[in-house]
Structure 1
Amino acid sequence: MPTPASRPANATLLLLASLYCAQGLPSGLIAHSLPVLLRQHGVDLALIGLLKLLALPWLLKVLWAPWVDRLSSRRLGHHRGWILPLQGGIALVVAGLALLTPNELFGRQLPLLLGLLLLVNLAAATQDIATDGLTVRLLPERWRGLGNSLQVGGYKVGMLVSGSGLLLVYDGAGWSLSMALLVLLLVLTLLPIWRFAERQQLPFRPALAEPAGPGLLLRHYRGLLAQPGMGLWLAVLLSFKLGDALGSPMIKPMLVDQGWSAAELGQLTLISSLAGIAGALLGGLLYARLGVLRALLLFGLLQALGIAAMAALVQAGGDHGLVYGLALFEQAADGMSTVALFAAMMRQCRAEHEGADFTLQASAQLLLGGLVGAASGLLAGWIGYAGLFLTAGALGLLALGLLPLYWRRAQPLAG
């Protein structure tokens, strides 16, 4: 294990980057590529909308996360014993899809396709629990920002490859070859975890975990919520990205109202996503120097300013330079703030409870953010786009006031 002052080995960083990239590959396929391909084959919009329901395992995984922390493979290791078979199963499902024709899958076998994609999401969500737990154990606190840079960046790269990338090659390669390339990438990203000697480097310590059996779910999360200062921390966690959740869903609709085409928005999304990846990487490096509190304050401030600045675009959609400048800044700030928040969440994880403790925090933050985002359209219709973005920025600034209070009352500033 590295010391708190030493940067993790390159092999460790490659391992984490490969695992999070692997998670992004099926997500990009389901969220970005398949809706386009289904519509091209005449599938009804209502059925395409069902793809959103396939993401339910990512929200519900908190219900089985404690068992992922508790159960270990004697031969493969703890986290490795979950990741290898789950990702291998995803590759087999995608390989099976490659053997079928689009006319079959998008026609009479559409229920089969939806069922297989649900299994893929179930496996990917469960693998995410094990991967997060492995990340917390592998990285000393100072370098968890860098680890979360790889999490955010790797996941987005995977989504871009199987989303935008697959659509770019699909016309020339066709369905079967495109799926085969995706299988190849899933297998390649398995190599670092296959070579990782987890049983020697991170032996499982079952004495630190609750015994498996009835009541494990309640015992596990009750123990987490009983940690000192957890009430204040949950207030920080749930409020930190509410401003971004409120404002960001209305950026593209605003630009559509100002005449932006689908192609122009696609290009903006691609370039701004790359800025988000760069922001995540920069945020991870700065986190190691700033420490958790200063990183949260600085990156949270940039996040609030970025979403509030979108108000300047309400009557300026024709100024593409200004749109790109503010969109890139907002995405970079979002990447930096996400990395800092995820690293801070890792601080709250108990030994041998890492996967489930992180999962509960992430699920709570995602659920509340989704509910707030769902109301963004209603608020925009009531107070206008400018009012929405300024309100979202103000909400982001107000949330920062909880940070010094939490650190002063709950624990000393580390780093």
Structure 2
Amino acid sequence: MTVTRPAKGFFLTLAALYFAQALPVSMLGKAMPALAREAGLSTQWIGFLALPAIPWALKFIWAPWVDRWGSGRPNHRKRWVQVCLLAVIAVLGVVAMFPREWLLGPGFVVLLGLLFLLNFFSATQDIATDGLATRLLTPEWRGLGNSIQVNGYKIGMMAGSSALLILVDLWGWHSTVALVIAAMMLVLVQVTRFQEPAEPVSHQQREPVSLSWWWRELTRFWLRPGLLLWLLILLFYKVGDSFGTRMINPYLVDTGWSLSAIGTLELFASLMGLAGAALAGLIMVRVHRRRVLVAFALLQALSFVAWAWLASADNSVPATQVWLVALFEQFADGLSTVALFVVMMDYCRSSHEGSDYTMQASVRLFAAGLFTLLSGFSAAWMGYALHFLLAGLLSAAIIPVILIWKPPAS
């Protein structure tokens, strides 16, 4: 059997694109909470840093238009990606104009607005990137593609969280943001070099664009039988992770960790996440989808129980224990993330890959964003120990649903 290899340079472009998408997400979810806590913001205000991530949950609304406008021509989705990257670079340029102390103080609302724009353009880029990846990755290359996707994303998370915290401590705010802009420009150069082949125009893509067309595009995916249990899994599989992770860095700041120490920890923990993501790709080839999702959800739950155990002690917890728990938590996150993404791809219909994947991702991110928004209040009201314990319980709560769920034919 002849296996069709993706276009030349596709895998490098794929890794670069997911790296670029992760930068603003990691700045929002990892670096900013630590910087905000160091600046004296309360955990309640830090929880509001989840608000600018709303576009990631709502991107399904404009996903059909990203798939439709420019379809049938070469470089259809590449053009969308280029425009979004230019917009992200412009927003980062505005962010670099303001002092960090002002953004995390009197200008906090301005920061939220800029982060919203950053996430809007990154989420739109994600629609085009997911559609490009799902269309060009044949089943034979899907495992490698998912590993590259998650690893590229996690490397971007490392750059936007661990490296950013370290560099802000060493170089200052403006120089660090300028370096992020330079990295995004390099991604833009790689995307420009890649040539996306034209895709055939389907019958549904010839339908007149209207409100009813848009509604049909959004609902056709969910009208298939057997999707109710999968919807529940999408909603709740990663909420415990999002709920717990947001408060890890504020907890470390409150226990006396410096930004550079947190950044170093994040860096090595993210490397463990890369290892988990790579291992998950191999496991998914050999083990039934249901067993994998259950096992990885359990590991994710145990990791936050471990964080709760650390937080229940006094502030003199040995750094070695913190490192072990952080490494284990990120390893479990890498495993569970790849497992969920592979099954999401299994559910995508032919000729609707971009919209189908985006809708599933939006459902997942909507639930994760809601619980992340509440995380600051939870930590303030219950304390870090009970907050992390609740995150572990949320991670395990979906397991009974997975046990009665029937995976799709892949």
Contact 2:89–2:185 (CA under 8 A) maintained in structure 1: yes
- Unaligned segments of structure 2, at least 5 residues: none
What is the match of residue 159 of structure 2?
A: 161
**Which amino acid is 2:202 matched to?**
P
What is the match of residue 302 of structure 1?
A: 299
CA distance 1:184–1:386, change in 2 (3 Å): closer
* Equivalent of residue 122 in structure 2, options 96, 104, 124: 124
Distance (whole Å) between structure 1 residues aligned to residue 152 and residue 288 of structure 2: 23
What is the match of residue 79 of structure 2?
A: 81
> What secondary structure sits across from 1:349 in the alignment?
coil
Contact 2:30–2:249 (CA under 8 A) maintained in structure 1: no
| Aligned pairs (5 A) from 1:388-407 | 389=388, 392-407=391-406
What is the match of residue 230 of structure 2?
A: 233
Distance (whole Å) between structure 2 residues aligned to residue 96 and residue 146 of structure 1: 37
> What secondary structure sits across from 1:155 in the alignment?
helix
Taking structure 2 as the reference length, what is the TM-score of the superposition? 0.79
Contact 1:70–1:211 (CA under 8 A) maintained in structure 2: no
What is the match of residue 202 of structure 2?
A: 206
Contact 1:2–1:140 (CA under 8 A) maintained in structure 2: no
Identical amino acids, percent of aligned pairs: 43
What is the match of residue 25 of structure 1?
A: 23
* Equivalent of residue 187 in structure 1, options 180, 185, 188: 185
What is the match of residue 285 of structure 1?
A: 282
Distance (whole Å) between structure 2 residues aligned to residue 243 and residue 167 of structure 1: 24
**Which amino acid is 1:206 matched to?**
S
What is the match of residue 148 of structure 2?
A: 150
Distance (whole Å) between structure 2 residues aligned to residue 34 and residue 312 of structure 1: 25
What is the match of residue 212 of structure 2?
A: 215
Distance (whole Å) between structure 2 residues aligned to residue 315 and residue 36 of structure 1: 21
CA distance 1:208–1:114, change in 2 (3 Å): same
**Which amino acid is 2:351 matched to?**
E
Distance (whole Å) between structure 2 residues aligned to residue 195 and residue 124 of structure 1: 20
Distance (whole Å) between structure 1 residues aligned to residue 361 and residue 151 of structure 2: 17
> What secondary structure sits across from 2:350 in the alignment?
coil
Distance (whole Å) between structure 2 residues aligned to residue 389 and residue 139 of structure 1: 38
Aligned length: 405
How far residue 341 of structure 1 moved from its aligned partner, in angstroms, is 0.4
**Which amino acid is 2:360 matched to?**
Q
How far residue 187 of structure 1 moved from its aligned partner, in angstroms, is 2.4
CA distance 1:75–1:85, change in 2 (3 Å): farther
| Aligned pairs (5 A) from 1:136-147 | 136-141=134-139, 143-147=141-145
> What secondary structure sits across from 2:209 in the alignment?
coil
What is the match of residue 369 of structure 1?
A: 368
How far residue 167 of structure 1 moved from its aligned partner, in angstroms, is 5.2
> What secondary structure sits across from 2:9 in the alignment?
helix
Contact 1:69–1:352 (CA under 8 A) maintained in structure 2: no
CA distance 1:142–1:253, change in 2 (3 Å): farther
Taking only aligned residues, the RMSD between alpha carbons, in angstroms, comes to 4.3
| Aligned pairs (5 A) from 1:21-100 | 21-29=19-27, 52-72=50-70, 76-94=74-92
Distance (whole Å) between structure 1 residues aligned to residue 250 and residue 42 of structure 2: 23
**Which amino acid is 2:326 matched to?**
A
What is the match of residue 326 of structure 1?
A: 325
Contact 2:70–2:76 (CA under 8 A) maintained in structure 1: yes
What is the match of residue 257 of structure 2?
A: 261
CA distance 1:320–1:373, change in 2 (3 Å): same
Distance (whole Å) between structure 2 residues aligned to residue 294 and residue 129 of structure 1: 29
CA distance 1:305–1:211, change in 2 (3 Å): farther
